[in-house]
Chains A and B, each alone.
Chain A
Amino acid sequence: MGMFDVLKISSSGLRAQRVRMETIATNLANIHTTRTEEGGPYKKQSVVLTSADVSGATFKGVLERKMEGVDVEEILESEKPFERTYDPAHPDADSDGYVTYPNVNVLEEMTDMTAAARSYEANVNVINTAKRMFQKALEIAR
């Protein structure tokens, strides 16, 4: 257990939320992308988070658990169904005249974005509080 483990834990949180934000930004940017390298429309991406030990120290004892931060395990492509819209004039329309659009929902992404921003802010709060507490402790020995 180190003195500044708090900072490591919180910064892992900051990073995870930032990656989440970037994923959301990618989703929104590609909301109308009907063709990709693999063929077919863009698939919505989401982050899969997992708790991870950030202290780098070995597990010390039964009573004291690892100080857990968070890590991005993978970025998942959603297999949710695509949107199909009737638009025969579109260059990517299929034989029935339907265009397949990405499975990205604007409202969902915006909500997720707000949540990510709030979590990011909470992690920043922790860092600020930890800093204040440390500086306060220095007053003990003036």
Chain B
Amino acid sequence: MPIIDLIGKALGIRSAYNKVIAANISNADTPGFKEKDIDFRKELDRQMSYSGPVVIEESGDDVLSFASLDENTVTMEKQVMKLTENSLYYDALVQALTKKFSLMRYIINGGK
């Protein structure tokens, strides 16, 4: 069931990412704390060939980055956006998975 495995792995990465976002938000005011991120596409490719811990790296520079005077690189607005985005992707994946299982169940029971 390759598609089910794929969704399963994607969900696993999304769960891990939720923790990364939580850590970023929790440390939004900690001096010297560097914002963390997960490269989603790379991570999904990696997880397809091996099962292991998710790679967490420091956020790259993008239009939303901002380092404050105390060297903290967490941008609250970006994190809040990421939080929403992540949870929506998560919901969509769960929905797809549930539907898939539902369809299989329907076929197994001969359309009843």
Contact = CB atoms under 8 A, between A and B. Distances in A.
- Are A and B in direct contact (Cβ within 8 Å)? yes
Interface of A: 1, 5-6, 9-10, 12-13, 16-17, 20, 48-51, 60-61, 63-65, 67-70, 115, 118-119, 122-123, 125-126, 129-130, 132-133, 136-137, 139-140, 142
A133 B27 contact: no
Determine chain A's interface SS by DSSP, over half rule. helix
Given A5-B19, A6-B19, A130-B22, A140 B101 contact: yes
Contact of B29 (A6, A49, A68): A49
Given A13-B26, A63-B52, A123-B25, 15 more contacts: A1-B16, A13-B27, A49-B30, A51-B23, A63-B55, A64-B56, A67-B23, A115-B29, A122-B76, A125-B80, A126-B26, A129-B83, A133-B18, A133-B87, A140-B97
A140 B22 contact: no
Given A63-B52, A64-B53, A140-B94, A129 B18 contact: yes
A119 B22 CA distance: 12
Contacts of A50: 30
Lowest 8 A-B CB distances belong to which pairs? A13-B26, A64-B53, A9-B22, A49-B30, A68-B23, A6-B22, A63-B53, A126-B22
A48 B53 CA distance: 31
Determine chain B's interface SS by DSSP, over half rule. helix
A115 B68 CA distance: 14
Contacts of B83: 125-126, 129
A63 B53 CA distance: 6
Given A129-B87, A136-B91, A51 B27 contact: yes
